[in-house]
Amino acid sequence: MQSHSYPSKLLENAVEEFAKLPGIGRRSALRLVLHLLRQPQPDVERFIAAIGDMLQNIKFCSICHNISDTDVCSICSSPSRDKATICVVESIKDVMSIENTMQYRGLYHVLGGVISPMEGIGPSDLNIDSLVDRIAKGEINEVIMALSATTEGDTTNFYIYKKIRNYPIIVTTLARGVAFGNELEYTDEITLGRALLNRVRFDNSFSVE
Amino acid sequence: MQSHSYPSKLLENAVEEFAKLPGIGRRSALRLVLHLLRQPQPDVERFIAAIGDMLQNIKFCSICHNISDTDVCSICSSPSRDKATICVVESIKDVMSIENTMQYRGLYHVLGGVISPMEGIGPSDLNIDSLVDRIAKGEINEVIMALSATTEGDTTNFYIYKKIRNYPIIVTTLARGVAFGNELEYTDEITLGRALLNRVRFDNSFSVE
């Protein structure tokens, strides 16, 4: 007798599939599946259809690689965006985070990850060539590198910087500093050191408000 | 601009559906959906198929209402189970929990919930009549009430007890007591009181080992 004796193979299969999702253990998976079983059939069908529909019809923007319902995404095709600025991010989630700040009106470029030898992700696995192509067209003034503040993020920053530094553009990165709401006492020393080094004039420090 | 600006309606639909699952907020839902998008297509199709397959083909045992791949579940149809004992539980999950103890060889009866006026669940919403029918056939010796140790569980216990007490059967409930691993200091007084009241002879207390 196995430690989890499922009364049904069909149930077990569904639980196993849910348990493959990140952060969902077998116990949570069982809870989710039993929840679905208790819902009216049309509701579960809508759940399945939403995933299937997304899988079959979702597109990636041919310019910035963001998720899109159309060939060119709504940001790249918007007439009100600043088309001379590109913000380079790791993932679609980062685009959404930056959009939610409402502080950015330029375009994006989604790399699809960062260079990580540990995870076997090299530069050729990322959307770097298409970024260089966009810059090579000569209509870009500034490239903002907005990658994670990690070793992998820094490696990727340097790799891309070397590829694009000879174009007539400004390359910037996100400010590193003390996060909003963080107490100095609990801020790590690298962050604190950088925040000191990159200190800004007091009258500029409210420019994002 | 809404606080979450999804780059795609298809993505948003999938996120909304995931966010309907219990314990999954919109942020986790987005993480799960983006994870699915990164998986190879056959893997996501397997995920969808497992749920759809379960939905269409799963059965509930015509005797005990447990989930089953067949008309009568594997427990009810097993020749090695004690067919004179019924353990009454709230849900399929409870059947699995009790099976995992490997301490029970009788049959089950899944009520599908407990009486809860607050949630609008009355006796007629539960599989109580079919339990009475099983007992009325005269082949049952013992009914073990294994419901939650809550007010709703107790209400349901009493309701069922009144319906079945005139049949020539023994009705028992799970022992209430100090849980394994619990320190007395942190055990609530109702539990401790019951554990004292229902104390067992020391030489019997290892019978489940």
Mean pLDDT of chain B: 87
Nearest to A132 by CA among A161, A164, A107, A154: A164
The answer for A 137-166 residues in CB contact with B (under 8 A) is none
Characterise A169 by phi-psi region: left (phi > 0), alpha (psi -120 to 50), beta (else).
beta
Tell me which residue in B3, B10, B52 faces A54 most closely, judged by beta carbons.
Answer: B10
Contact assignment for A58 to B52 by CB distance below 8 Å: no
Backbone angles phi, psi at B189, to 5 degrees: -70, -25
Copy the structure tokens of residue B72: 């009568």
d(CA B177, CA B150): 14
d(CA B89, CA A138): 70
Give the bridge partners for B36, in sequence order. none
- DSSP letter at A129 equals H
| Structure confidence by residue, pLDDT tens digits, B142-175 | 999 998 888 898 899 999 999 998 999 999 888 7
A positions 55-74 inside 8 Å of B (CB): 55, 57-58, 66-69, 73-74
The pLDDT tens digits for B125-134 are: 999 999 999 9
Q: Is A17 on the interface with B (CB under 8 A)?
A: yes
* Domain B73-174 = CATH 3.40.50.2300: no
CA pair distance A170, B28, nearest whole angstrom: 36
Residue of chain B nearest A101, judged by CA positions? B3
Name the closest residue on chain B to residue A36, using Cα atoms: B21
Residues of chain A below pLDDT 70? 1-4, 202-209
Q: For residue B133, what is the DSSP state?
A: H
Tell me how many helices (H) and strands (E) chain A has: 7, 6
Between chains, do B69 and A9 touch, taking CB under 8 Å as contact? yes
Give the residue among A38, A15, A30, A54 at the shortest CA–CA distance from B15: A54
Give the count of alpha carbons within 13 A of B4, CB side only.
Answer: 14
Residue B177 has pLDDT above 90, yes or no: no
Residues from chain B contacting residue A22 (CB–CB below 8 Å): 31-32, 35
- The one-letter code for the residue type at B178 is V
| DSSP 8-state code for residue A204 | G
pLDDT, tens only, B43-101? 999 999 999 999 888 899 999 999 998 999 999 999 999 999 999 999 998 898 888 88
Distance CA A86, CA A70 (A): 20
Q: Say how far apart CA A44 and CA A71 lie, in whole Å.
A: 30
Chain B interface includes A197 (CB < 8 A): no
| Angle formed at CA B135 by CA B131 and CA B141, multiple of 5 degrees | 125
pLDDT at A186: 75
Q: For residue B74, which residues of chain A lie inside 8 Å, CB to CB?
A: 7
Question: A11-20: string of b/e by CB count within 10 Å (b at 16+)?
Answer: bbbbbbbbbe
Q: Count how many pairs of residues, chain A against chain B, have C-beta atoms within 8 Å.
A: 159
Domain ranges, ordered by start, for chain B: 9-57, 73-174
CA angle B114, B116, B118 (to 5 degrees): 155
Tokens for B98, please give them: 């009790």
- Closest chain B residue to A20 measured between Cα atoms? B47
Contact between chains at A23 and B31 (C-beta distance less than 8 A): yes
pTM, 2 dp: 0.73
The CATH topology of domain A76-174 is Dna Topoisomerase Vi A Subunit; Chain: A, domain 2 (3.40.1360)
Q: Is A40 on the interface with B (CB under 8 A)?
A: no
Burial environment of residue B164 by CB neighbours within 10 A (0 to 12, 13 to 18, 19 or more): buried
Residue A205 confidence (pLDDT): 53
Helix, strand, coil % (nearest 5) of chain A? 45, 15, 40
Task: Write down the ipTM of this complex.
Answer: 0.75
Top residue of B5, B24, B51, B108 to mutate, by most chain A CBs within 10 Å, is B51
CATH of B9-57, one of 3.30.470.20, 3.20.20.70, 3.40.50.300, 1.10.8.420: 1.10.8.420
| pLDDT recorded at residue B196 | 76
Distances in Å between the Cα of A77 and the Cα atoms of A66, A99, A164 are 12, 15, 24
